[in-house]
Structure 1
Amino acid sequence: MEYVYAALLLHAAGKEITEENIKNLLQAAGVEVDDARVKALVAALEGVNIEEVIEKAAMPVAVAAAPAAAPAAEAAAEEAPAEEEEEEEEKEEEALAGLGALFG
Structure 2
Amino acid sequence: MEYIYGALLLHSAGKEIDENNLKKILEDAGVNADEARLKSLVESMKNINIEDVLKNAAAAPVAAPAPAKEEKKEEKKEEKKEEKKEESEADAMQGLSSLFG
Matches within 5 A, 1:13-92: 13-60=13-60, 63-64=61-62
How many residues align? The count is 64
Cα distance in 1 between the residues matched to 2:9 and 2:39: 17
**Amino acid of the structure 1 residue aligned with 2:56:** K
Q: Deviations over 1:21-65 (max 9, x none)?
A: 0000000000011000000000000021100011111112xx43x
Give RMSD over aligned pairs: 1.7
Cα distance in 2 between the residues matched to 1:40 and 1:30: 20
Q: Deviations over 1:7-32 (max 9, x none)?
A: 00000000000000000000000001
**Amino acid of the structure 1 residue aligned with 2:2:** E
The percentage of aligned residue pairs carrying the same residue is 52
TM-score (norm 1): 0.58
Q: Which has the larger radius of gyration?
A: 2
Cα distance in 2 between the residues matched to 1:53 and 1:36: 24
Cα distance in 1 between the residues matched to 2:6 and 2:48: 16
**Amino acid of the structure 1 residue aligned with 2:7:** A
TM-score (norm 2): 0.59
Structure 2 residues without counterparts, runs of 5 or longer = 65-101
What stretches of structure 1 move > 2 A for 4+ residues in a row? none
**Amino acid of the structure 1 residue aligned with 2:32:** E
> What's 1:5 paired with?
5
